[in-house]
Amino acid sequence: MALIRLVDLRKSYRVGDVTVHALRGLSLDVERGSFVCVVGASGSGKSTLMNVLGLLDRPTSGHYYLEGEDVSGFDKDRRAHLRNRKIGFVFQNFNLLPRTSALENVELPLLYGGRALPPAERHARARGLLEAVGLGSRLDHTPQQLSGGQQQRVAIARALVNEPELLLADEPTGNLDSRTSVEIMEILQRLVRERGITVVLITHEHDIAEYGTRVVTVRDGRVTSDTPVQNRRDAAAERAALPPLELEVEPEPAEAGAEA
């Protein structure tokens, strides 16, 4: 059974006097453990697709089956609950809470979803994930004290804290330089490989899409092509091949050596 099955999804909304048809009968299956990259120009409907997939928005018509359950008609609170439990979000602009430590940022989803985890367990989970993304020495840093790549890694840790089935990444490397982008893609590839997480990544850069297992092209609210990636890029190998940085710009030079 596919983790996600979208059947004839349509979404239209009104902007002033104009009705915009963002999705026009889009169908798509996403298998568990796959790394699907959705590419499309702006206005292609990929953001709307992302919002519907992330249960932030409801389709006008059509069906969205998540783990076999039709969630397209769920009300706000049920969608909030599903988002909390099954979906992790990674955004282009990180969306971390300012003036809040990395640890507390990662713990945030644990505050919701009607589950009262004891603080000690919340800390332990968040700490474990931050260590897994290589930020074990920066638990108490606020976003202002972290570089862009580090912030995105905090965001990934946050997305994983509730052990979701699905990780939705919306242009996760859009604000990052190419080296940091490779680092982020390495983490995502590792998550798919080691944890069996399903990743749906939205991008407009075709070379980023080549890190996935499958590229889905969206145009005018429909899937126009859906192909497996032939020569898949391996982010870990690419990063290893990059020349070492002579000067790593760190907000706090004293701790620069602790990062690995």
d(CA 179, CA 149): 9
Cβ proximity to other proteins: between 49 and 235 the closer is: 49
Contacting residues for 235 by C-beta, under 8 A, at least 6 apart: 182, 183, 185, 186, 188, 189, 211
Q: Measured from the CB of residue 96, what is the shortest distance to other proteins in angstroms?
A: 8
Q: What is the dihedral of CA 168, 171, 172, 175, to 10 degrees?
A: -160
Q: Out of 45, 54, 149, 212, which residue is the one contacting other proteins (CB under 8 A)? A: 54
Q: Measured from the CB of residue 249, what is the shortest distance to other proteins in angstroms?
A: 26
Instruction: For residue 178, give the H/E element and its range.
Output: helix 178-190
228 neighbors 250 (Cβ within 8 angstroms): no
Cβ proximity to other proteins: between 81 and 232 the closer is: 81
Cβ proximity to other proteins: between 158 and 214 the closer is: 158
Determine if 7 is a binding residue for other proteins (CB under 8 A): no
d(CA 167, CA 187): 12
Helices (H), 23-147: 46-53, 76-86, 102-107, 119-132
Q: Would you give the distance in Å from CA 254 to the centre of its chain?
A: 31
Cβ proximity to other proteins: between 149 and 164 the closer is: 164
Q: Out of 17, 76, 241, 260, which residue is the one contacting other proteins (CB under 8 A)? A: 76
One symbol per residue from 83 to 112: x for binding other proteins (CB under 8 A), - otherwise; what is it?
A: xxx---x-x---x-xxxx---x---xx-xx
One symbol per residue from 124 to 163: x for binding other proteins (CB under 8 A), - otherwise; what is it?
A: ----------------------------------x---x-
Cβ proximity to other proteins: between 105 and 150 the closer is: 105
Cα separations (Å) of 211 from 29, 33, 147? 19, 14, 23
Residues that bind other proteins (CB under 8 A): 51, 54, 56-57, 76-77, 80-81, 83-85, 89, 91, 95, 97-100, 104, 108-109, 111-113, 116, 158, 162
